[in-house]
Amino acid sequence: MTIQKIHDLFIESNKVSIDTRKIEQNSVFVAIKGERFDANTFAKEALEKGASYVIIDNADYFIDERTILVDSSLKTLQELAKFHRNYLKLPIIALTGSNGKTTTKELINVVLSKKYITKATIGNLNNHIGVPLTLLSFTKETQIGIVEMGANHQKEIEFLCEIAKPDYGYITNFGKAHLEGFGGVEGVIKGKSEMYTYLRTNNKSVFVNLDDAIQNSKTSDFKRITFSSINQEANVFIKEITANPFVKVSTSEVEIHSHLIGLYNANNINAAITIGNHFEVPFAAIKEAIESYIPENNRSQLLTKGTNEIILDAYNANPSSMMVALENFIQLDKSNKCIIIGDMYELGEESLAEHSAIISFLNANSTFECYFVGKEFFASSWHKDKFHFYQTFEDLANYLSTAKWNNQTILIKGSRGMALERTLEYL
């Protein structure tokens, strides 16, 4: 069956599912093989739960005329998404970067939705499966699509751009993330810049933070829309940025008081302002949208537990995001501060050095209690006389279960695998 014919069937249903636990009536179920399961085995269940068609790549699970047998279900999902993107012909904004992708994407979405019918990546479904699913969620009613793209190896952003074919792109930053897969910081820059290559080759536009030297230098020959807190010739000039703890930014047109913590979130806000302005969203509406945005999902959340104030930034961590979070926390005008930070993953051969660098930074700059948890920090624990080190979360939990913390301002940050939001039940 051709992709066009499959697309015709998809349009009849206008829904795609890859999980029978979340199957919707009149949907197309795509059976994708995972590391621990073969979704072909769920094809019959999908039909029984209301799917109109199932796409499989194992003939052993063929059922009836509602079964579409293909060579690769995953490739078919990707080709279907590419066909659908061309079919809709709507403007698409793509974004990637080492840190801040999801927050920036959500800010762009709330801003643009003040004027347009928008659809954006749900959560962080930003990989070779998530991007196709995002594209297939767009409909004829969608006026602007916003697609987040993640990667931990070379050529992934290039591949995702060929599927999504963005009209606009934005790279939040180039940091020390996924060093193991990219092969170091230069590999990160090369990998993320695959978006620039696509946009340049196809004569598309890019949003640029002129204060970021890498972004500025790599886009000098582009059609670009810019923002800056230094260069007043930028399309949007940011007059003032403060954070204590919430970020406030000011332009000549508007002053925005956000619910986002930390100066590192300022550029996420600035990008959303710039993109909204480019698409002619009134500044008053931009202000309303950003000021109403409340972070969740363990990203820069300000919480209260008893008498303690907690900055929960435990969704993920890498050396770049960890450092800016610590720098921001150090400058906060708060008494009785302390931190709980966990291992940073996917750093490869650089792991020990990067974890040691964080300890060295805090040794030189902290005046508060520091609690480190995880095998990598424990292996780097050369300041046991000054700091507290726990090899496992259970070791930390045993301590916290007997500790009595009151009137503290606490930063909690670590990689997703550390799941440090678990500490909340002990504070």
CATH of the domain at 412: 3.90.190.20
Q: Which of 292, 325, 358 is the last residue of a domain?
A: 292
Q: Give pLDDT, residue 33.
A: 87
Q: Give pLDDT, residue 180.
A: 65
State the residue for tokens 């990008």.
Answer: 271
Q: How many Cα atoms occupy the beta-carbon half-sphere of 252 within 13 Å?
A: 9
**One pLDDT digit (tens) per residue for the chain, 427 residues:** 899 999 999 999 879 999 988 898 999 999 998 878 889 999 999 999 999 999 999 999 999 999 999 999 999 999 999 999 999 999 999 999 988 899 999 999 999 999 999 999 987 789 999 999 999 999 999 999 999 999 878 899 999 999 999 999 999 988 766 666 666 778 888 888 899 999 999 999 999 999 999 999 999 888 999 999 999 999 999 999 998 789 999 999 999 999 998 888 999 999 999 999 999 999 999 999 999 999 877 777 889 998 999 999 888 888 988 998 999 899 888 889 999 999 999 898 889 999 999 999 999 999 999 999 999 999 987 777 789 999 999 999 999 999 888 999 999 999 999 999 999 988 8
Instruction: Confirm whether 182 is domain-assigned.
Output: yes
In single-letter form, the type of residue at position 324 comes to: V
Considering the domain architecture, whether residues 199 and 306 belong to the same structural domain is answered as: no
Considering the domain architecture, whether residues 278 and 150 belong to the same structural domain is answered as: yes
Spatial strand order of the sheet with 205-209 comes to 118-120, 144-148, 92-96, 168-171, 205-209, 223-228, 236-237
Considering the domain architecture, whether residues 257 and 310 belong to the same structural domain is answered as: no
CA distances from 300 to 258, 260, 407 (A): 12, 7, 19
CA distances from 135 to 74, 138, 204, 280 (A): 14, 6, 19, 24
Check residue 196 and report its DSSP letter. H
Q: Domain residues for 135?
A: 90-292
Considering the domain architecture, whether residues 102 and 56 belong to the same structural domain is answered as: no
Considering the domain architecture, whether residues 264 and 382 belong to the same structural domain is answered as: no
* Count of domains observed in the chain: 3
Instruction: Confirm whether 84 is domain-assigned.
Output: no
Check residue 38 and report its DSSP letter. B
Give the length of the chain.
Answer: 427
- Distance CA(3)–CA(81), nearest Å, equals 10
Instruction: Confirm whether 85 is domain-assigned.
Output: no
Q: Give pLDDT, residue 154.
A: 82
Considering the domain architecture, whether residues 147 and 249 belong to the same structural domain is answered as: yes
Q: Give pLDDT, residue 178.
A: 63
Domain of 11: which CATH number? 3.40.1390.10
- Distance CA(406)–CA(336), nearest Å, equals 9
Considering the domain architecture, whether residues 273 and 127 belong to the same structural domain is answered as: yes
Considering the domain architecture, whether residues 381 and 333 belong to the same structural domain is answered as: yes
Q: Give pLDDT, residue 153.
A: 80
